[in-house]
Structure 1
Amino acid sequence: MTDGQESHWSRHLPAGSNAADVDLSAGGTLPAVWLDRWSTDPQRYVVWNAHAGWVTGAELLERAQDVAERLASAGIVAGDRVLMSGPSSSRLIAAHAALLAMGAAVVPLNGAYRADEVRGVVADCRPAAALVEGVGEPDEWHEWIADADPAVMVSDFNAAPLPAGRAGEAEHAAAGTGAVAPGGVGAAPHKGPRFDLAALARQRRPDEPALIGYTSGTTGQPKGAVLSHANLLASVRALQLAWRWTPDDVLVLALPLFHMHGLGVGLHGTLTVGAQAVLQPTFEPDTVFDAIREHRATMFFGVPTMYSRLVDSPRAAELSGLRLCASGSAPMPAELHDAVREASGQHVIERYGMTETVMLVSNPHDEPRRAGTVGFPLPGVEVRLEALDSSDGEPAVSDDAAMTVPDAAEILVRGPNVFSGYWERPAENTASFSDGWFRTGDLGQWDDGYLRIVGRAKELIICGGFNVYPREVEEVIASHPDIAECAVGGEPDPEWGEAVVAYVVAARDFDDDEMKDFVGERLAFYKRPRRTYRIAALPRNALGKIQRQMLGRQAKL
């Protein structure tokens, strides 16, 4: 895209700003920015949670230092992958900061994952350690991780007590930080800092892997999007500009910290800008409204399902006290936009992002926010639409927001926030990029300079903001002895946006609860079919491919 076009990201900048002055790499890396801020303003409150109350920068820095020392003593070194899963807390934040500062790649996982999902990620990324707490039944995750790889060290967010470290790497871990060589798990407690974690964070290179975000693949196998420190920082700096995010802001953060919306946007943005966050371990409308009032909050980020429940509350008008509400992870119906505005006066900012890119596009802060669109490219981001020309089969590309592509075209993006590829997936990486542009798999149209998401090129169901690929659920259902074949699709749902539904060719009838339970034992709760239809045969074309658009009609026969 070129300067002067209607959708250029400079539209997001405050009046009088110069696009040439924008620096999305300011500070180098997230952990360098965070730890420097906590060191220079140690008594400032950073995050609040119900268990600990307000936690200061000094307390987070001390906890991160302790965790880093224990991890180094166990042999964790830069480049290691470390799983993290658990409810939102200051303990999680300190451990997350410690890992990033040490150069480990954080692998956040949904606490709702079941055995096969956890084992699949462990087998794929081969982590050195896992920090988990408050997920599943007692010791459940420990067993699943050990089943996949007994060498993985498992602990809680304090990283203590840790299992035996990798003795051959422990001295290297200490040497790389200026630490005294660790004495192993049985060593006496640390009597003082063995290295300066803030100084270590400043040594991180922007191109180093910082996070591997797993997303279910079209093949049914999860794949990890490798995001660098530069990717994560660029997206946060873009949002800081576009949303006028300042240290005076207080965010009510009810999104989970394994999800890019909660972690990569809500938490990373708060810590980088120097603002404050009120953590909510789960989403409940009354606790959100209480937090807005008690902490004089200014911002709330959510998914459409959350806004649907908030607007149904008799307290919906209390959203009026916020200066900004943002929605994402799933399309927000225009009717819900209108309902929120009528109940509270809030014009929700809808934005568009992915695990692979963090944030890409957002409705504007100062200009009109258009329901049904996701706005303009964020600072540093380029967007183009690529459609097939039926005359010769070659892609017909439009990157001019003033032009309207008559038919939906695939959205391609590039920018400093866009990842470089999937973990050890060379074939998928080749297919996912075109001359440096990432193929999102989403379909879009320009609408007077605003991007409108109109569909998906890939089979995907978005249920309550969570991505569900049909293939993964189909493989589980097909393992049932009474089912000959099956297909999974999505149906519109007023609360969840889309509901997962199953169509089965089976020897007997299945009620909805039986299928929910069968899938729920093997996959995360949001992947369970909410409805199951028994049909005579799956609709197929002449080549034998399932015609998914016909499934709903088949169920009514």
Structure 2
Amino acid sequence: MSRTFDANRIRTSLFDALIDASQTHGAKKPILEDQERNPLTYRDLIRASFALGRKLAAMTRSGERVGVMLPASAGGVVTFFALHAFGRTPTMLNFTAGIRNLKAACELAGVKTVLTSHRFVEQGKLHDLIDALEGLTKVVYLEEVRETIGLQDKLFAAAAGALPRQFRAATRPDDPGVILFTSGSFGAPRGVVLTQANLVANCHQIAAHIELDPDWVFFNPLPIFHVFGLTGGVLLPLLTGMKAFEYPSPLHTKQIPPLVKDSKAAVLLATDTFINQYARAAEPGDLSGLKFVVCGAEKVREETHNLITERFGPIPLLEGYGATEASPVIAVNKPTDNRRGTVGGLLPGIETKLEPVEGIPGGGKLYVRGPNVMAGYLQPGGGIEPPHGGWHDTGDVVSVSDDNWIKILGRVKRFAKVGGEMVSLTAAEDLAAAVWPECRHAVVALPDPKKGERLILVTDKRDAESAPLLAHAQTVGAPEIAVPRKIIRVPEIPVLGTGKTDYVALQRIVDAEIRRAA
């Protein structure tokens, strides 16, 4: 159910928030499941966290930043809370980011121990990553840790499960809750420190904004190294009484739709890319039981809205907006008020201010402040740089309606100056998406000696030409300078593990093509 939001009332540590949820909804309530289909109750989760946490505490020190390289799974969730039970800070490692970024993340966070599993490494073919990490950290396999859990550990876990507040490490709401790394879609990832209060607050902000039912199942195929998958797919359901169903990879487009049906999921977390793929692969009825789908990380295309409606009925796709630095949700649409073309209403407790951007009328660069905004960015040497005055610069240019509904106009980095005028690269991508909705498109800007910058369209549309783009631009009244004249056709658009377009990889493709053509 929806509720009012009081930031001071819900200030608590993360493990205590889990204990509170267990007491509210019942220790015996099934609350966590994955594709192995062995559901855990609140009591099971808390006991397992103490049993595993005791072993992990013996090989780490209090307050240590411990690397976690695991998929969305019951084991990944237990590991996260096991570290919290003993006052360690989970540092979520993006195993899709490549060896260089992974090593840089461990060095920046001072990670000495990385937790993973043999099964995950084998199935993900991650041996090269492990080899690289073993030269920098101690890699611990959870299967081997679990084999050492004996009778004493189980007795301890049973006692701790009965009196969790007496056994858990005493931590403060302002202590680190997790260290995450930004997606790196526009450059090198940054280390973000979110406090325990940040994460708990964002869950309560969402619950105050959208009416949630404790009887629902939340299906999460998104990685827990990404803040959307962690907060939306794990913490939100667990702390509000809904069962979290974890699935290890969003890429399994044929397996996920029937499992959504079989798990009786009411809510699915996804990105536009993934929900589009699931809808195409699904059998009739696979997704029909969903109350709604929450989409983040990228813009939801009109074609995706229409595809879901045509195949599965009026299931709302709720586009939302957030940032790792905001735990992450800043705004999201509601099932009862779903405004296409926007990213929804601002969550309660968040302040905003807009800074004018030269050449872009009707909006401004968005700054946000609130109980969900990070402690700060990790600095070399282990320090934390807090946001100035508590304000996080999102880098996004937005417009805000009188009732606090947000529309994204583009990123500051995603504008180009063509012939002295500011052009949104996102708007240029939208032109291509309108002409060829079934395909993926991305636009980048390159320096141009005559016009300042020029637009390059990269697309998987094999026969894409500029003429249809120009014709559509004229039809909708878009300026001709927003139409890319140079088109590069590729087999597929590079994406990150979260489904976002990988603009760093995209820029390399464009640079290589321009050099080849020169």
Aligned counterpart, 1:418: 373
1:522-537 map, 5 Å: 528-529=505-506, 532-533=509-510
> Structure 1 28/122 Cα, relative in aligned 2: closer, same or farther at 3 Å?
same
Q: CA separation in 2, counterparts of 1:137 and 1:280?
A: 18
Superposition map of 1:1-400 within 5 A: 22-23=6-7, 25-26=9-10, 28-38=12-22, 41-77=26-62, 79-133=63-117, 134-135=120-121, 136-137=124-125, 139-147=127-135, 149=136, 152-157=137-142, 160=145, 190=153, 192-193=155-156, 196=160, 198-199=164-165, 200-201=167-168, 203-215=170-182, 220-283=187-250, 284-313=252-281, 315=283, 318-343=286-311, 344-357=313-326, 358-366=328-336, 368-388=337-357
Structure 1 residue 454 corresponds to structure 2 residue 409: yes
Distance in 2 (CA, whole Å) between partners of 1:318 and 1:407 is 42
Unaligned runs of 5+ in 2: 416-424, 430-441, 445-453, 462-487
Superposed counterparts of 1:464-483, under 5 Å: none
Q: Output the amino acid matched with 2:199.
A: L
Indicate conservation of the 8 Å contact 1:252/1:292, yes or no.
yes
CA change 1:236–1:312 in 2 (3 A) is: same
Q: Distance in 2 between matches of 1:492 and 1:43?
A: 51
- For the 8 Å contact 1:511–1:532, the answer to whether it is kept is no
1:436 maps to what in 2?
390
Whole-angstrom CA distance in 1 between matches of 2:210 and 2:220 = 16
8 Å Cα contact 1:266/1:301 also seen in 2: yes
Answer whether contact 2:332 2:347 (CA < 8 A) is retained.
yes
Aligned to 2:479: none
What amino acid sits opposite 1:262 in the alignment? G
SS at match of 2:155: coil
> Structure 1, residues 316-345: CA drift from partner, whole Å, max 9, x if none?
654332222111111112332233233321
Cα distance, 1:408 vs structure 2: 3.6
**TM-align CA RMSD:** 4.3
**Conserved? CA contact 1:240–1:246, under 8 Å:** no
- Residue 360 of structure 1 contacts residue 381 of structure 1 at CA under 8 Å; is this kept in 2? yes
Amino acid at match of 1:222: P
Q: Is the 8 A contact 2:14 2:173 kept in 1?
A: no
Q: 1:29 corresponds to which letter in structure 2?
A: S
Letter in 2 for 1:263: L
Identity %: 24
Distance 1:409 1:362, change over 3 A: same
**Bigger shift: residues 61-70 or 30-39:** 30-39
Q: Label 1:490 to 1:235 Cα distance change in 2 as closer, same or farther (>3 A).
A: farther
Give 2:399's aligned amino acid: Q
Query: Structure 1's 146 and 289: CA in aligned 2 closer, same or farther, altered over 3 A?
Result: closer
Which whole-Å CA distance do the structure 2 matches of 1:375 and 1:107 have between them? 30
Any idea what SS the aligned residue of 1:320 has? coil
Instruction: Give me the whole-angstrom Cα distance separating, in 1, the residues matched to 2:502 and 2:19.
Output: 36
Q: 1:161 to 1:62 in 2, by over 3 A?
A: closer
Distance 1:488 1:528 in 2: 17
Deviations 1:143-186 (A, max 9, x none): 21232x3xx33212457179xxxxxxxxxxxxxxxxxxxxxx99
Q: For structure 1, which segment, 125-134 or 23-32, has the greater mean C-alpha deviation from structure 2 after superposition?
A: 23-32
Taking the aligned partners of 2:235 and 2:248, their CA distance within structure 1 comes to 17
Deviation, 1:22, is 3.2
Structure 1 outlier segments of 4+, above 6 Å: 185-189, 460-463, 487-490, 510-513, 524-527, 534-538
SS of 1:112 mapped into structure 2: coil
Deviations 1:283-336 (A, max 9, x none): 334433323332322111110011211332453654332222111111112332
Please state whether the residue corresponding to 1:306 is helix, strand or coil: helix
Per-residue CA deviation, residues 355-393 of structure 1 (Å, 9 max, x unaligned), is 111110111343x31111011110211222210468xxx
- Is contact 1:310-1:316 (8 Å) kept? no
For 1:267-293, what per-residue CA distance to the aligned partner results, in whole angstroms no more than 9, with x for missing partners? 111110121022222233443332333
Query: Distance in 2 between the 1:228 and 1:490 partners?
Result: 40
Greater helix share, structure number:
2
Contact 2:187 2:504 survives alignment (8 Å): no
Give the deviation of 1:437 after TM superposition: 1.8
Question: 1:204 offset after TM fit, Å?
Answer: 1.8
Task: Output the TM-score relative to the length of structure 1.
Answer: 0.69
1:236-282 deviation line (CA, Å, top 9, x unaligned): 01111222123211111111121111111111111101210222222
Aligned partner letter, 1:364: K
Contact 1:71/1:159 (8 A) holds in 2? no
> Aligned in 2, Cα 1:493/1:305: closer, same or farther, shift over 3 Å?
farther
Number of the residue aligned with 1:545? none
Q: Read off the aligned partner of 2:279 and give its amino acid letter.
A: V
Give 1:139 shift.
4.7
Code of the residue aligned with 2:49 in structure 1: it is: A
Query: Are the counterparts in 1 of residues 182 and 324 from structure 2 also a CA contact under 8 Å?
Result: yes
